[in-house]
Structure 1
Amino acid sequence: MTDRTSGPDRAEHGELARLLPAPAERDLPPGRHLHHKDTLMRLIDQDGDRATARSHPRLLRSAVLLPAVGLALGGVLLTMLAVAGRDSAPPPPTAGTGSEAMAPRGAAVLLDRIASAAGKKGGQTVTDEQFVYVRTLQTGNEGEFGGPLKLTEPSEREIWITQESGPVVDEGLIHQDGSYLPLVVGVPDGETPVGHPAGLNRPTYTWLASLPTDPDVLLRRLTSEITRDQDARDTPAEDRDRAQDAFDTIGELLRETVMPPRTAAALYKAAAKIPGVTVDPVAVDAAGRHGIGVARDDTRAGWRTTWIFDSTTLEYLGERSHLIRDTSMGKKGDLLGTSAVLERAVVNALREKPSSETASTTT
């Protein structure tokens, strides 16, 4: 095929070509801290010993009914520290997320190749009675609330998430640190639990498959749902950043789901339209696997989040976040958290492990 690029575009393609191998010719093998801020602070007041089941600085989940156990899983502490560790620097101007304000060309080219690889995978049929199973390796945090981070060694976590489309309270199950903990969504204790249907806060395979595949339309859809969610919680204007929220939302959707190929491709192409997205040529996940990263700096919070991909297959490997300036959590460069997806599958029951035929592994 004739190369029709010239000038700066040719140079950018050449730079990316040095980072990545030639694309494979065969099919490949198989977020947001603001959403939890108000809920977490209420839960801190209600019961300091309760625990949530997510493990990342920013979470895209509905309010969590916390299991009554004496464990403090790393996710809630890391989330609380991330919220408390914000410096007082003024937020940057809100950036648009339309096609007129795209990521730098290098990141856009990389994301386009990742989208192409993701779109070649085979889809599947998933019923309401089934569960998405994801096995990850991730770090936790044992630091005191509001104080310096104290990361644990990476440990495995298994999660089973119901694919039921209707409103549910019992979303699934988590196996971590030798314990099985129910994953329950709704309002905090003391009020009547209200479940949530499939949607942005509970992304089932069927709901993901229903999303528009035009990246511009998809990005507008995500931005609209994020804004509606923030409006419902009366999130102050100064706590909103459309570009960062969109990046975090896409990252959350990628993390613990089985993704329909067309939706995955559209999400990566939508991410290419978010300003401030860059390429990290060397990134390492929680399992020590080296890959190439797609990153964005949250300048208000003071950290960078990087999605990590296998540099050969362009398979999603995991994520890592680190500080980009000194904060109450630690020094510039300190690791906030890291994860690695080891296995994904659709299974028929809670606690069921996938067979070798159904599992998608990234080892």
Structure 2
Amino acid sequence: MTSDRAAFPRPTNPSERIDAIDVLRGIALLGVMAINLVMEFRLSIFEQFLGPKTHASPLDDAIEMILTQAVELKAFALFSLLFGAGLAIQFDRLANSERRTSLLLRRLAVLLVFGVIHLCLIWNGDILTEYALAGFIVLPLLFAPRWLLALAALAFLALYLAMQALPPAGLYPSRAAIWRDVMDANRIYATGGFLDVLAFRLREIPLIASLHAFVFSRTIGLFLVGALAWRSGILQNIRGLFVIALPSIGLGAALLHVGIEPLGTILLALGYGAAILGIASFERGKRLLGWAAPLGQMAFTNYVAQSVIFGWIFYGYGLGLFGRLGIAQALAIGIAVYAGQVLFSAWWLRYYRYGPIEWLWRTLMYGAWQPMLPSRVAAVRTQLSSRTSEAQIRDP
């Protein structure tokens, strides 16, 4: 006889969430936002392939150096690790359900639809589509033992490192194609209306896809590392987290210093993640970093909202600031938006179980309308409604 949980699988209740993981996700979103804003919304993502630019101020130079060395690919690697861990957590929590595989396939399919919509209609720097496609590859491997997960992770990361050392011929677009795209971007993104920007965004997708192809094996490898971290119990082992954090950060920084960037980036991301998870697991750490947990719990909603907000700020159908701001100016806008999202997320989750997009994702995944109100809020509203009805009966 199957249990109620097996017969009726349900989303993770907010009270069952691992707060430290939400904290890490919220902090990682800050790094992702900073890189997206400075290197993709402010100007064309392909500017970096045309050589170094002269900035207006030493402050811009300093900020760019910090973002490039300490944040750039590390924040995206952190998100990949977290997505892999999250997929493994979902997989294990649905272990008693006969619908486990179909539910997780539907979860990834819904993410793919969201990603394509985001990619085509909102912003072509989208990462959701790549994550959904990588998830389809990783999902079957979650049935395997831990040693096979580790072997697969090493294989995909080795493939990524090999591609870095010996890039496949024809993977990157030609310099002439990049130059034409940058020139068109400077004109259309800065001054075009919504339909102009939309048409150019769609035209850019093949160029953007070549960048994703270059890091796709890394994404899969990091998904598997995140899943392995969950399966091995490392995420719940505070001492083990710090044992990983310190050498990973030290070795990662040393590798970056000598120019071995791909491996150094992966190690730094592991070190950052382990350190933040370890700190957030202590009571004092929760008080220090707890502000990021609501933001991380609503990371999907906040990520898409950033694309909408920054698109309006930088593109011609909004304020048209594309190509007109320095790094420091753009980052100041981004930090203000991020701070607003921290406050909004905390307020929203006082009254609702999930962020709006998280709720829709769960509803489509489970094929059933998910409750949006926390039980205590729903109980209060029911009680108030009952009292109102009784008052109307007594005094019609």
TM-score bucket (shorter structure): 0.3 to 0.5
TM-score where L is the length of structure 1: 0.32
Pair member with larger Rg: 2
TM-score where L is the length of structure 2: 0.30
Whose RCO is larger (CA < 8 A, sep 6+)? 2
Q: Which has the higher helix share?
A: 2
